[in-house]
Structure 1
Amino acid sequence: MQGMSTADFLHPEDQLSVRTAFSALAQGQAEATVQHRSRHKLGHYVWVETSLRSIQDGAESQAAVLGVSRDIQERKALEAETLVARDLAREQAQRALLAEDISGVGYWRVDLATNDLFLSPKMYEIYGVGSDQPLTANDLLAQLHPDERAEEQARIARRLKTGEPEFDAVFRIIRRDGVVRHLRGSSIIEMEADGARRAVLGTVIDITDIFEARQAVADSEARYRRLAEQATDMIARLSIEGRFEFVTPSSQHILGYAPEVLIGQRPLDLIHPDDQKSVAAAYRALLHQGVEAPTPQVRYRGLHADGGWIWLEGRPRVVFDPETGAPLGYQDVVRDISVSVAAEEAAEQARAAAEASANAKTDFLANMSHELRTPLTSVLGFSRLIQEQPELSSNTRRFVDRVMNAGAALLATVNDILDFSKLEAGQIEVKRQPASPLAVLTQSIELFSVQAEEKGLAMRLDLAEGLPETVLLDVDRLRQVLLNLVGNAVKFTEAGEVRIEASYQDEALHFAVSDTGAGIAPELQAKLFQRFSQIDASATRSHGGTGLGLAICKGLIAAMGGEIGLTSQVGHGARFHFSIPAPRAAAIVLPDAAKTAQALPVGLRVLVADDNPANLDVVGAALRGLGVEVTTAGDGQSALEIASGAPFDAILLDLRMPGLDGSATASVIRHGGGANAEIPILAFSADVTSPLDTALFDGLIAKPIDPAALLIALSAAFELEADLGQS
């Protein structure tokens, strides 16, 4: 070792620490100790601890350094093992904390001798307490839910007494923030070697989320169970073979059978025999249509437990295996629809009754029309014939005029009643044809000119520029409205004038009828358009009328697609105004009665059939005056017998005759193949709104019979026959 320095023996990594120790001595430090590695004689390094001391000379200067070294290899090895163990423990503790955090499990321990409490960090989190706050076992017990505290404390005491472990105990705590949490814990008793109880240790996990989820599932199941038990609909699951596998308790309410009674039975056995085929077909169709099949509504009658049949409605669907797509069975929702079916049947019966009532009303109106207008035909017809006699005295002519006026008033009243009834029944048909609005206005005014002249009233017609010569309109309906309005104006005006205005705008006719009468108060104006309504009930006696005129006007104008209104002030008269659609049409030539009569074939032979002799006389007198040869029959059978033995140029048949009516008589003539099968056949009818069988008849003549209308109808029939013959 001679010739070697101290550094030659030191481990390179320890040389600095040794030099530092020597420097400290040189600076006046008396002693220094340093641990370092020295080279062993065998060549390896060993740990030694060297104590250095400074040796002073007399002048208090450092003379030498004395060093004493001892082997500390074993101590260093032990320190290394301890360090490794400490690092391992620290790592294990970190892993335990990580596992505790991941698993959510908290750990606790109570020393029974000292009552010291150890809590893992997770325990503080579960109990909602900061880890810097000291806790005792009593603090934890105090956080137990009040409803469970006594039971938990008794259980803890029992365990301490018996020493038995406890697993998966569920309890509640109230955290310091007031939140209730559900916990599950397990604990064991730690024992001494001599059997004494040293400590209690255990684990706790917060299961609030699990508890709430399970509670939600339980609540949901309970809700659905209550729904199934309380639902009025019956939910059923059927096997693919068609037997009940599951039925809700509502089967008791609907069918009277408890669910357990139905399980295993075939639903088809509880279905009415007449409905089994359709129900089975509906189920088969579902099976063949697959998963996308719409849910049908299947109605059928089901057998109740009391033996009666009730109406049911099912909504079946097929349940398929989600993986294989194979059908597993059926699910059906069935409800009792007996009440709704009964309501539908009642509604159908009511509809049928309403239709029967409407038909009866229609028949009644037709009969009334026939029975009322037939005698009026005689009254007006014969009065007109008498009026045409030139040798009448002035008194006789005055009497005839009064009869004519009375008959016309009676006819107007009858028409009002019948027309309003038809309006209410929706039986008014609007027939538009080319017509002159000026002609309709002129005719309506002329009918009241004499009456207005007798009262000293002026009748004025104001026509706006641009009024078309010809438009499409229902002449009869327009005339009826104008006659009502003009007639009322003349009737209720004692002095002054009645003014009729007409204009045309936007493909519509606009009319107004004004008077200088007493006027109508605002609160009474709306009543005028109501049925059987008049401003003063005494007006019925003083002026006559049914109180239906304006209501009919409103209904007719509405049927023609128009509107009607009124403006009036008391003491300043009234102004009724209305408008109706009327597209322009090509010009027409109005028929002339004289020319029409001249156009009839010479030597015309006509057969007239009517069960009313007066009507026969009226028609016969009108036609014979024109040189027509008339043969009459009192009923349909007589007309057939006459028509089978002689040819005629035309036949006129009353539609309503006893026995064989007009239509039946015409049918026999048309299809009998005789001499009269192809000639014109015209119908008499008091009900001109009913549809006419055009395969049997060539025209319709309204009652009461107007001679001019009769001639026009005959002429039209012969013109049609001539056109057909030429074609």
Structure 2
Amino acid sequence: MVSAQMSYHSEFLLALIVFVMSAVSLASLLFARYSEIKNLALKEEFEKRHRLFLRKLYELAVLQEIGKRIGYSLNIQKICEIITNSIGDLVKYSAVSYAVLEDANLTFCIRLEEAVDASFVSDVKQKVLASVQVLTNKDITKSKVDEGIAGAVVGDFPNKKLLSFFNVPLYARRGVIGVINIASTTKDMYARGEDALVLYKLSNQASLAVENLQAVLDSEKSKLEIMVESLADGVFYVDKEMRLLVINKSAKDMLKVESIGSINILDISNVFPENFNFNEKLSEALKLEKDIVSPELMLNDRFFKIIFTPVKGENELLGVAVLMQDVSEQKLLEKMRKDFTSMMVHDLRAPLNVMYGTSDLLTKRAEEIEKTKFNELLFEIKNSSKNMLNIVNDLLDEAKIEAGKFVPNKSKEDIVELIKRQVKFFQPLADQKSLYLRADIPKESFEFNFDNDQVARVLANLISNGIKFTKEGGITIKLIKNDKAIHVSVIDTGCGINEEQKERLFSKFEQIRSPVDPLQKGTGLGLVIAKGIIEAHGGKMWVESDGKNGASFNFTLLL
């Protein structure tokens, strides 16, 4: 009989141990999977934001080059060339020319339709440039003039001097940008006015074309600048001459240079530590024309990943784009993973030691142990396995909540009666610490649809936490109802919760240690799960505390 009983107990113990070890493995796999998914999501988000950053910054860099090289100078010259090439069908002339002013640079081009005296060209040039100076109100006497002459020959032709000319200004948004000129060796050639009207119409069309071009450039550049400015990652762009052309607000905040008025590349370089040669990495990206990815860098108490990316036009390198991404969250996740693993090992070691030691004792000395003692040892194993199972259940429930798959099983229940039962259950635990535990609730019952077991779990978590964190005084549960919802508060007179702790209170795998019971155990998921249960009911959960005089945990349930 004893042998049969011992065989039964041995089989039971073996099955129990196998189950518990499976639960431990499941818990470890669950968190490992959680970390893997979280890291993958962060990696995908980083790559997505990096691609967006490169595309927008490339477009911005190209537009800047267009604005600098083409927008004012080359395109205007092309427009002038189109006008001067086609004007011969409308107006008779000996020569047509134009002058375009870009910053301090002047371009003067003339095309001759007939042979003219050498003085003809110099006189036209003088009158055109004088007109540019008057119309732009700029001193161009010291400006370098890029000249071009095409068409018929220039020689000694005394009867082919300049006798008639007409200047037409070319306008853009910033004012006069050039002059188109027609000239003739015939006297009073343009005295009538019809030719002048034609030229003015052409000039207006040209000015409108330049205006529209500039408007498009400005609009597109503005859109891109807004996009870059709104990026959460830090972004700045440096051209080949190491001039800082773009820097968004996020980069200024990360580098702590927002207070500097006009930021240059030296200001940015000085922010980085000596062991991080910022200028060298810029030069390396330009020289090698490939991405330079820096190791994770700690700056202003945050961790950053910095990528230097060459920005290329069609035929040449334009500059370097720099992306700064705050990877502190990833570092924190890694720390949380390590801390949680350590906590799991610590919290599971005690019940595992109990189970191992007790089962070893039962298997080696079963025949010597009295039945009563035998049952006590089995009860210890059962309690230890229950503690481990609770940890696994917490992890599984949190995973359901995280995936949005937690659905409360609602039925018509009495919330007043539920609170009374929870107070009765936890009263002995409160009495052990000489704390009061009372319910300030209506006397009459109040029924509505909610998940009784899950809301009981929420109340159990809040009451047990209140007892755990309270040294003197006690815990009060209040219930207030209105037409739309019920409001439950669990108020303790414990040590309180400061602002920094409030931010971490409902975070996964964060646990605030009690100064009353610093050796407390658990996953730290209780409040996370409680909040998920309430939100699954359509309610809200929050905490109120001044950090010194206890805390009030509140939740609402919709009727």
TM-score, reference length from structure 2: 0.37
- Report the structure number with the largest CA radius of gyration: 1
TM-score, reference length from structure 1: 0.29
